[in-house]
Amino acid sequence: MTEKFFMIFLNLLSLMPAGIFCYFPMRRYMRVSRKKAVFTVFLPQAAIIFVASLAALMFDIRPHIIRLPVIALFFLIYYRSINVHITKAIFVYVHIHAVVIILYSFANGCDALIHPDLGAGSYTWSDSLLQLLFVSVYVALVCYPVRRFGPVLVEKLSSVRIWVSATMIPGIILFFNLFMRVEKYESLFVNKVFRAFIALHSVSFVLIILLTIFFYYVVSGIFRETQTQEELKVLKLQERYFKAQQQYMNDTARVRHDFKHTIHTLERLASDGDLEEIKNFLARYTDSMPKNELVCYCENMAVNALLNYYMEQSKKAKTRFTLEVDMPDELPVSDVEMCAVIGNILENAMLACMEIDTQDRYIDLAIRVENNAQLYILAENSFNGEVQIEDGKYRTTHSGNGIGLSSVMAVAQSCGGTARFSHEGKQFYSDVIFPLKTK
Protein backbone atom coordinates (compact mmCIF):
# COMPACT_ATOMS: atom_id res chain seq x y z
CA MET A 1 0.00 0.00 0.00
CA THR A 2 2.81 2.41 0.89
CA GLU A 3 4.61 1.68 -2.36
CA LYS A 4 1.48 2.30 -4.40
CA PHE A 5 0.80 5.54 -2.52
CA PHE A 6 4.23 6.91 -3.40
CA MET A 7 3.76 5.72 -6.97
CA ILE A 8 0.52 7.68 -7.22
CA PHE A 9 2.08 10.66 -5.47
CA LEU A 10 4.96 10.67 -7.97
CA ASN A 11 2.47 10.37 -10.82
CA LEU A 12 0.60 13.52 -9.69
CA LEU A 13 3.82 15.31 -8.72
CA SER A 14 4.54 15.93 -12.40
CA LEU A 15 1.80 18.58 -12.23
CA MET A 16 4.02 20.67 -9.94
CA PRO A 17 6.59 21.77 -12.58
CA ALA A 18 3.68 22.51 -14.91
CA GLY A 19 2.08 24.64 -12.18
CA ILE A 20 5.34 26.52 -11.61
CA PHE A 21 5.73 26.97 -15.37
CA CYS A 22 2.37 28.77 -15.54
CA TYR A 23 3.89 31.62 -13.52
CA PHE A 24 6.67 32.37 -16.01
CA PRO A 25 4.49 34.55 -18.29
CA MET A 26 2.83 36.08 -15.20
CA ARG A 27 5.95 36.93 -13.19
CA ARG A 28 5.15 40.67 -13.26
CA TYR A 29 1.59 40.13 -12.11
CA MET A 30 2.03 37.98 -9.01
CA ARG A 31 0.17 39.23 -5.95
CA VAL A 32 2.85 37.92 -3.59
CA SER A 33 6.64 37.74 -3.61
CA ARG A 34 8.43 34.59 -4.70
CA LYS A 35 9.29 33.71 -1.12
CA LYS A 36 5.69 34.03 0.00
CA ALA A 37 4.56 32.02 -3.03
CA VAL A 38 6.29 28.98 -1.56
CA PHE A 39 3.87 29.07 1.39
CA THR A 40 0.75 30.41 -0.35
CA VAL A 41 0.99 28.54 -3.66
CA PHE A 42 3.36 25.60 -3.81
CA LEU A 43 2.86 24.14 -0.35
CA PRO A 44 -0.95 24.11 -0.85
CA GLN A 45 -0.39 22.42 -4.22
CA ALA A 46 1.77 19.76 -2.57
CA ALA A 47 -0.92 19.25 0.07
CA ILE A 48 -3.55 18.80 -2.66
CA ILE A 49 -1.38 16.17 -4.36
CA PHE A 50 -0.95 14.36 -1.04
CA VAL A 51 -4.70 14.29 -0.35
CA ALA A 52 -5.48 13.31 -3.95
CA SER A 53 -2.97 10.45 -3.73
CA LEU A 54 -4.69 9.15 -0.60
CA ALA A 55 -8.08 9.38 -2.29
CA ALA A 56 -6.82 7.58 -5.40
CA LEU A 57 -5.34 4.83 -3.22
CA MET A 58 -8.42 4.39 -1.02
CA PHE A 59 -11.02 4.49 -3.79
CA ASP A 60 -8.90 3.02 -6.62
CA ILE A 61 -9.29 6.11 -8.83
CA ARG A 62 -7.55 6.01 -12.21
CA PRO A 63 -4.81 8.55 -13.08
CA HIS A 64 -6.75 10.56 -15.69
CA ILE A 65 -9.75 10.84 -13.33
CA ILE A 66 -7.86 11.99 -10.23
CA ARG A 67 -5.95 14.59 -12.27
CA LEU A 68 -9.13 16.51 -13.14
CA PRO A 69 -9.90 17.85 -9.64
CA VAL A 70 -6.19 18.41 -8.99
CA ILE A 71 -5.81 20.51 -12.15
CA ALA A 72 -9.00 22.44 -11.28
CA LEU A 73 -7.82 23.18 -7.70
CA PHE A 74 -4.40 24.18 -8.98
CA PHE A 75 -6.07 26.69 -11.29
CA LEU A 76 -8.03 28.28 -8.43
CA ILE A 77 -4.80 28.77 -6.48
CA TYR A 78 -3.07 30.03 -9.62
CA TYR A 79 -5.75 32.57 -10.51
CA ARG A 80 -6.00 33.95 -6.98
CA SER A 81 -2.24 34.47 -6.85
CA ILE A 82 -1.99 36.64 -9.98
CA ASN A 83 -3.53 39.96 -10.96
CA VAL A 84 -4.70 39.57 -14.56
CA HIS A 85 -7.98 39.18 -16.40
CA ILE A 86 -9.32 35.64 -16.12
CA THR A 87 -9.13 35.06 -19.91
CA LYS A 88 -5.36 35.53 -19.80
CA ALA A 89 -5.03 33.15 -16.86
CA ILE A 90 -7.18 30.51 -18.60
CA PHE A 91 -5.19 30.78 -21.84
CA VAL A 92 -1.82 30.29 -20.15
CA TYR A 93 -3.09 27.50 -17.90
CA VAL A 94 -4.93 25.58 -20.61
CA HIS A 95 -2.12 25.99 -23.10
CA ILE A 96 0.58 24.67 -20.74
CA HIS A 97 -1.51 21.77 -19.47
CA ALA A 98 -2.48 20.81 -23.02
CA VAL A 99 1.22 20.28 -23.71
CA VAL A 100 1.64 18.44 -20.39
CA ILE A 101 -1.19 16.02 -21.20
CA ILE A 102 0.46 15.26 -24.57
CA LEU A 103 3.71 14.52 -22.75
CA TYR A 104 1.77 12.19 -20.45
CA SER A 105 0.59 10.30 -23.53
CA PHE A 106 4.19 9.96 -24.74
CA ALA A 107 5.06 8.58 -21.29
CA ASN A 108 2.19 6.09 -21.61
CA GLY A 109 3.57 5.00 -24.98
CA CYS A 110 7.02 4.38 -23.50
CA ASP A 111 5.45 2.58 -20.53
CA ALA A 112 3.57 0.35 -22.98
CA LEU A 113 6.91 -0.94 -24.27
CA ILE A 114 7.93 -1.80 -20.69
CA HIS A 115 4.58 -3.16 -19.46
CA PRO A 116 2.64 -4.31 -22.56
CA ASP A 117 0.23 -6.28 -20.40
CA LEU A 118 -1.00 -3.19 -18.48
CA GLY A 119 -2.85 -0.01 -19.54
CA ALA A 120 -2.97 3.77 -19.10
CA GLY A 121 -5.30 3.26 -16.16
CA SER A 122 -2.55 1.59 -14.14
CA TYR A 123 0.05 3.17 -11.88
CA THR A 124 3.66 2.12 -12.53
CA TRP A 125 7.00 3.50 -11.43
CA SER A 126 8.19 3.77 -15.02
CA ASP A 127 5.11 5.73 -16.16
CA SER A 128 5.26 8.10 -13.18
CA LEU A 129 9.00 8.71 -13.57
CA LEU A 130 8.71 9.23 -17.33
CA GLN A 131 5.88 11.74 -16.89
CA LEU A 132 7.90 13.73 -14.35
CA LEU A 133 10.99 13.52 -16.57
CA PHE A 134 9.23 14.60 -19.79
CA VAL A 135 7.47 17.54 -18.13
CA SER A 136 10.62 18.69 -16.32
CA VAL A 137 12.74 18.50 -19.49
CA TYR A 138 10.11 20.40 -21.47
CA VAL A 139 9.92 23.14 -18.84
CA ALA A 140 13.72 23.40 -18.76
CA LEU A 141 13.95 23.66 -22.56
CA VAL A 142 11.31 26.34 -23.07
CA CYS A 143 11.60 28.30 -19.82
CA TYR A 144 13.89 30.95 -21.36
CA PRO A 145 11.70 31.89 -24.37
CA VAL A 146 8.56 31.76 -22.23
CA ARG A 147 10.11 34.00 -19.54
CA ARG A 148 11.32 36.43 -22.19
CA PHE A 149 8.41 36.57 -24.63
CA GLY A 150 5.47 35.38 -22.49
CA PRO A 151 5.10 38.62 -20.48
CA VAL A 152 4.93 40.55 -23.78
CA LEU A 153 1.70 38.77 -24.68
CA VAL A 154 0.21 39.34 -21.24
CA GLU A 155 1.19 43.03 -21.12
CA LYS A 156 0.42 44.15 -24.64
CA LEU A 157 -2.77 42.27 -25.50
CA SER A 158 -5.91 43.37 -23.69
CA SER A 159 -8.60 42.06 -26.04
CA VAL A 160 -10.74 39.49 -24.20
CA ARG A 161 -12.10 38.19 -27.49
CA ILE A 162 -8.64 37.32 -28.81
CA TRP A 163 -7.64 35.56 -25.58
CA VAL A 164 -10.83 33.48 -25.64
CA SER A 165 -10.37 32.58 -29.32
CA ALA A 166 -6.73 31.62 -28.77
CA THR A 167 -7.75 29.27 -25.93
CA MET A 168 -10.13 27.18 -28.03
CA ILE A 169 -7.63 24.96 -29.90
CA PRO A 170 -5.40 24.20 -26.87
CA GLY A 171 -8.62 23.59 -24.93
CA ILE A 172 -9.82 21.05 -27.48
CA ILE A 173 -6.43 19.32 -27.45
CA LEU A 174 -6.46 19.25 -23.63
CA PHE A 175 -9.99 17.83 -23.47
CA PHE A 176 -9.26 15.28 -26.19
CA ASN A 177 -6.09 13.99 -24.49
CA LEU A 178 -7.63 13.96 -21.01
CA PHE A 179 -10.25 11.44 -22.05
CA MET A 180 -8.45 9.53 -24.79
CA ARG A 181 -7.00 6.71 -22.68
CA VAL A 182 -5.43 3.46 -23.83
CA GLU A 183 -7.26 0.98 -21.61
CA LYS A 184 -4.95 -1.87 -22.62
CA TYR A 185 -1.44 -1.34 -23.92
CA GLU A 186 -1.62 -4.55 -25.93
CA SER A 187 -4.05 -2.84 -28.33
CA LEU A 188 -1.23 -0.50 -29.36
CA PHE A 189 0.72 -3.39 -30.83
CA VAL A 190 -2.03 -4.44 -33.23
CA ASN A 191 -1.16 -3.59 -36.84
CA LYS A 192 0.25 -0.01 -36.86
CA VAL A 193 -1.75 1.43 -33.96
CA PHE A 194 1.39 2.30 -31.96
CA ARG A 195 2.80 4.35 -34.85
CA ALA A 196 -0.53 6.10 -35.31
CA PHE A 197 -0.68 6.78 -31.55
CA ILE A 198 2.77 8.40 -31.53
CA ALA A 199 2.10 10.26 -34.80
CA LEU A 200 -1.20 11.68 -33.57
CA HIS A 201 0.31 13.06 -30.37
CA SER A 202 3.38 14.32 -32.21
CA VAL A 203 1.15 16.28 -34.59
CA SER A 204 -0.80 17.67 -31.62
CA PHE A 205 2.45 18.67 -29.91
CA VAL A 206 3.86 20.39 -33.02
CA LEU A 207 0.51 22.04 -33.74
CA ILE A 208 0.24 23.62 -30.32
CA ILE A 209 3.87 24.87 -30.48
CA LEU A 210 3.31 26.37 -33.94
CA LEU A 211 0.07 27.98 -32.80
CA THR A 212 1.92 29.55 -29.88
CA ILE A 213 4.58 31.01 -32.17
CA PHE A 214 1.90 32.21 -34.60
CA PHE A 215 -0.10 33.78 -31.77
CA TYR A 216 3.00 35.60 -30.52
CA TYR A 217 3.73 37.08 -33.93
CA VAL A 218 0.10 38.08 -34.43
CA VAL A 219 0.08 39.89 -31.09
CA SER A 220 3.44 41.50 -31.88
CA GLY A 221 2.00 42.69 -35.18
CA ILE A 222 -1.05 44.14 -33.43
CA PHE A 223 1.22 45.90 -30.95
CA ARG A 224 3.45 47.30 -33.69
CA GLU A 225 0.39 48.58 -35.54
CA THR A 226 -0.93 50.18 -32.36
CA GLN A 227 2.47 51.72 -31.68
CA THR A 228 2.59 53.06 -35.23
CA GLN A 229 -0.84 54.61 -34.78
CA GLU A 230 0.32 56.22 -31.54
CA GLU A 231 3.40 57.58 -33.30
CA LEU A 232 1.27 58.97 -36.13
CA LYS A 233 -1.07 60.56 -33.61
CA VAL A 234 1.86 62.24 -31.84
CA LEU A 235 3.33 63.37 -35.16
CA LYS A 236 -0.01 64.86 -36.23
CA LEU A 237 -0.27 66.74 -32.94
CA GLN A 238 3.27 68.02 -33.37
CA GLU A 239 2.55 69.05 -36.96
CA ARG A 240 -0.56 70.88 -35.81
CA TYR A 241 1.45 72.54 -33.06
CA PHE A 242 4.23 73.62 -35.44
CA LYS A 243 1.73 74.98 -38.00
CA ALA A 244 0.05 77.06 -35.30
CA GLN A 245 3.44 78.35 -34.18
CA GLN A 246 4.40 79.13 -37.79
CA GLN A 247 1.15 81.00 -38.34
CA TYR A 248 1.77 83.05 -35.20
CA MET A 249 5.31 83.84 -36.34
CA ASN A 250 4.04 84.93 -39.77
CA ASP A 251 1.39 87.14 -38.19
CA THR A 252 3.86 88.75 -35.80
CA ALA A 253 6.29 89.27 -38.69
CA ARG A 254 3.56 91.15 -40.56
CA VAL A 255 2.85 93.27 -37.50
CA ARG A 256 6.54 94.05 -37.10
CA HIS A 257 6.72 95.01 -40.78
CA ASP A 258 3.76 97.39 -40.43
CA PHE A 259 4.93 98.80 -37.11
CA LYS A 260 6.68 101.79 -38.67
CA HIS A 261 3.39 102.87 -40.26
CA THR A 262 1.77 102.55 -36.82
CA ILE A 263 4.43 104.84 -35.33
CA HIS A 264 3.88 107.42 -38.07
CA THR A 265 0.15 107.37 -37.42
CA LEU A 266 0.69 107.86 -33.68
CA GLU A 267 3.11 110.73 -34.36
CA ARG A 268 0.50 112.49 -36.51
CA LEU A 269 -2.25 112.00 -33.92
CA ALA A 270 0.09 113.20 -31.16
CA SER A 271 0.99 116.33 -33.13
CA ASP A 272 -2.71 117.06 -33.54
CA GLY A 273 -3.15 116.59 -29.78
CA ASP A 274 -6.08 114.24 -30.35
CA LEU A 275 -5.75 112.09 -27.19
CA GLU A 276 -9.12 110.42 -27.60
CA GLU A 277 -8.29 109.30 -31.12
CA ILE A 278 -4.93 107.94 -29.90
CA LYS A 279 -6.75 105.82 -27.31
CA ASN A 280 -9.18 104.52 -29.92
CA PHE A 281 -6.35 103.75 -32.33
CA LEU A 282 -4.38 101.86 -29.69
CA ALA A 283 -7.46 99.86 -28.73
CA ARG A 284 -8.04 98.87 -32.36
CA TYR A 285 -4.34 98.08 -32.76
CA THR A 286 -4.32 95.87 -29.67
CA ASP A 287 -7.36 93.95 -30.88
CA SER A 288 -5.69 93.35 -34.25
CA MET A 289 -2.53 91.93 -32.66
CA PRO A 290 -2.03 88.20 -33.41
CA LYS A 291 -2.90 86.00 -30.45
CA ASN A 292 -0.92 82.87 -29.65
CA GLU A 293 -3.28 80.23 -28.26
CA LEU A 294 -0.40 77.82 -27.70
CA VAL A 295 1.22 77.62 -24.29
CA CYS A 296 4.64 76.21 -23.44
CA TYR A 297 3.87 73.81 -20.60
CA CYS A 298 7.16 71.90 -20.84
CA GLU A 299 10.27 71.58 -22.99
CA ASN A 300 9.20 68.24 -24.46
CA MET A 301 7.58 69.20 -27.77
CA ALA A 302 5.54 66.01 -28.14
CA VAL A 303 4.03 66.25 -24.65
CA ASN A 304 3.55 70.00 -25.04
CA ALA A 305 1.65 69.50 -28.29
CA LEU A 306 -0.54 66.87 -26.58
CA LEU A 307 -1.32 69.13 -23.61
CA ASN A 308 -2.20 72.04 -25.91
CA TYR A 309 -4.53 69.76 -27.86
CA TYR A 310 -6.45 68.64 -24.78
CA MET A 311 -6.53 72.16 -23.41
CA GLU A 312 -8.23 73.21 -26.65
CA GLN A 313 -10.63 70.25 -26.45
CA SER A 314 -11.52 71.06 -22.86
CA LYS A 315 -12.42 74.63 -23.82
CA LYS A 316 -14.71 73.36 -26.55
CA ALA A 317 -16.31 70.93 -24.10
CA LYS A 318 -16.63 73.65 -21.43
CA THR A 319 -14.53 71.61 -19.03
CA ARG A 320 -12.25 73.27 -16.50
CA PHE A 321 -8.74 71.98 -17.11
CA THR A 322 -5.90 72.87 -14.74
CA LEU A 323 -2.31 71.88 -15.36
CA GLU A 324 0.83 71.67 -13.26
CA VAL A 325 3.79 70.44 -15.29
CA ASP A 326 7.35 69.88 -14.17
CA MET A 327 8.83 67.35 -16.56
CA PRO A 328 12.48 66.24 -16.62
CA ASP A 329 14.59 66.56 -19.74
CA GLU A 330 15.20 62.80 -19.89
CA LEU A 331 12.04 60.71 -19.73
CA PRO A 332 11.98 57.12 -18.39
CA VAL A 333 10.09 56.01 -21.53
CA SER A 334 9.91 57.16 -25.14
CA ASP A 335 8.00 60.29 -26.14
CA VAL A 336 5.38 58.10 -27.83
CA GLU A 337 4.84 55.99 -24.70
CA MET A 338 4.68 59.05 -22.46
CA CYS A 339 2.12 60.64 -24.77
CA ALA A 340 0.18 57.36 -24.77
CA VAL A 341 0.03 57.40 -20.96
CA ILE A 342 -0.98 61.06 -20.64
CA GLY A 343 -3.26 60.89 -23.68
CA ASN A 344 -5.18 57.82 -22.45
CA ILE A 345 -5.67 59.38 -19.02
CA LEU A 346 -6.93 62.67 -20.50
CA GLU A 347 -9.07 60.97 -23.13
CA ASN A 348 -10.83 58.86 -20.48
CA ALA A 349 -11.25 61.96 -18.33
CA MET A 350 -12.74 63.96 -21.22
CA LEU A 351 -15.17 61.18 -22.11
CA ALA A 352 -16.22 60.88 -18.47
CA CYS A 353 -16.79 64.64 -18.19
CA MET A 354 -18.97 64.65 -21.29
CA GLU A 355 -21.50 62.48 -19.42
CA ILE A 356 -22.21 65.08 -16.72
CA ASP A 357 -23.45 68.69 -16.61
CA THR A 358 -21.04 71.37 -17.82
CA GLN A 359 -20.90 73.15 -14.44
CA ASP A 360 -19.55 69.95 -12.83
CA ARG A 361 -16.86 69.17 -15.39
CA TYR A 362 -13.23 69.47 -14.37
CA ILE A 363 -9.86 67.81 -14.99
CA ASP A 364 -6.78 68.40 -12.84
CA LEU A 365 -3.46 67.07 -14.10
CA ALA A 366 -0.13 67.32 -12.31
CA ILE A 367 3.18 66.06 -13.69
CA ARG A 368 6.01 66.47 -11.22
CA VAL A 369 9.36 65.05 -10.16
CA GLU A 370 9.92 63.95 -6.57
CA ASN A 371 13.44 63.76 -5.09
CA ASN A 372 14.94 63.48 -8.58
CA ALA A 373 14.02 59.81 -8.41
CA GLN A 374 10.42 59.44 -9.50
CA LEU A 375 8.13 61.05 -12.04
CA TYR A 376 4.53 61.35 -10.86
CA ILE A 377 1.54 61.76 -13.17
CA LEU A 378 -1.49 62.54 -11.02
CA ALA A 379 -4.92 63.20 -12.46
CA GLU A 380 -8.35 63.84 -10.99
CA ASN A 381 -11.55 64.29 -12.95
CA SER A 382 -15.26 64.42 -12.32
CA PHE A 383 -17.60 61.72 -13.63
CA ASN A 384 -21.13 60.44 -13.08
CA GLY A 385 -20.14 58.07 -10.29
CA GLU A 386 -21.00 54.91 -12.23
CA VAL A 387 -18.17 52.38 -12.51
CA GLN A 388 -17.71 48.83 -13.74
CA ILE A 389 -15.02 46.85 -11.94
CA GLU A 390 -14.03 43.39 -13.13
CA ASP A 391 -11.22 41.41 -11.46
CA GLY A 392 -10.18 44.52 -9.59
CA LYS A 393 -9.85 46.59 -12.77
CA TYR A 394 -11.98 49.40 -14.13
CA ARG A 395 -13.86 48.69 -17.34
CA THR A 396 -15.19 51.31 -19.73
CA THR A 397 -18.77 52.52 -19.27
CA HIS A 398 -18.77 54.55 -22.49
CA SER A 399 -18.20 53.65 -26.13
CA GLY A 400 -14.71 52.45 -26.96
CA ASN A 401 -12.50 49.41 -26.57
CA GLY A 402 -11.80 50.00 -22.89
CA ILE A 403 -8.07 49.26 -23.11
CA GLY A 404 -6.81 52.77 -22.30
CA LEU A 405 -6.11 52.16 -18.61
CA SER A 406 -4.62 48.73 -19.37
CA SER A 407 -2.26 50.42 -21.82
CA VAL A 408 -1.21 52.91 -19.13
CA MET A 409 -0.49 50.06 -16.71
CA ALA A 410 1.51 48.16 -19.33
CA VAL A 411 3.74 51.16 -20.11
CA ALA A 412 4.31 51.91 -16.43
CA GLN A 413 5.13 48.31 -15.53
CA SER A 414 7.47 47.93 -18.52
CA CYS A 415 10.00 50.25 -16.85
CA GLY A 416 9.38 49.20 -13.24
CA GLY A 417 6.72 51.80 -12.48
CA THR A 418 3.18 51.53 -11.19
CA ALA A 419 -0.26 52.72 -12.25
CA ARG A 420 -3.20 52.85 -9.87
CA PHE A 421 -6.76 53.99 -10.47
CA SER A 422 -9.45 54.67 -7.90
CA HIS A 423 -12.62 56.62 -7.33
CA GLU A 424 -14.46 58.25 -4.47
CA GLY A 425 -17.98 59.48 -5.00
CA LYS A 426 -17.93 61.30 -8.34
CA GLN A 427 -14.17 61.86 -8.48
CA PHE A 428 -11.87 59.54 -10.42
CA TYR A 429 -8.14 59.38 -9.64
CA SER A 430 -5.22 58.23 -11.79
CA ASP A 431 -1.80 57.85 -10.18
CA VAL A 432 1.15 56.80 -12.34
CA ILE A 433 4.72 56.60 -11.06
CA PHE A 434 7.82 56.20 -13.22
CA PRO A 435 11.26 55.60 -11.72
CA LEU A 436 13.88 58.00 -13.07
CA LYS A 437 17.35 56.94 -14.06
CA THR A 438 19.85 58.11 -11.48
CA LYS A 439 23.12 59.42 -12.81
- 234-265: per-residue pLDDT in tens? 667 666 666 655 554 555 555 555 555 566 66
Task: Check residues 65 and 256 and name the one with the higher pLDDT.
Answer: 65
The pLDDT confidence band at residue 137, using thresholds 50, 70 and 90, is: very high
* Mean pLDDT over each residue of the chain, to the nearest integer: 82
The pLDDT confidence band at residue 93, using thresholds 50, 70 and 90, is: very high
pLDDT for position 400: 41
The pLDDT confidence band at residue 153, using thresholds 50, 70 and 90, is: confident
Backbone angles phi and psi of 31, in degrees to 5 = -75, -20
Q: Lowest-pLDDT range, 251-260, 302-311, 377-386?
A: 251-260
- What are the distances in angstroms from CA 230 to CA 24, 333, 334, 408? 29, 14, 12, 13
pLDDT for position 399: 45
Q: What domains can be seen in the chain, in order of their start residue? A: 2-230 (no CATH), 301-435 (3.30.565.10)
The pairing of strands 362-370 and 320-325 is parallel
pLDDT, tens only, 163-217: 888 898 888 888 887 777 777 888 888 888 889 989 988 998 999 999 888 888 8
Task: Check residues 161 and 291 and name the one with the higher pLDDT.
Answer: 161
Q: Lowest-pLDDT range, 3-17, 74-88, 268-282, 374-388?
A: 268-282
The pairing of strands 374-382 and 427-435 is antiparallel
| Strongest mean pLDDT among 149-153, 200-204, 229-233, 386-390 | 200-204
pLDDT, tens only, 410-437: 788 778 888 889 889 899 999 999 998 7
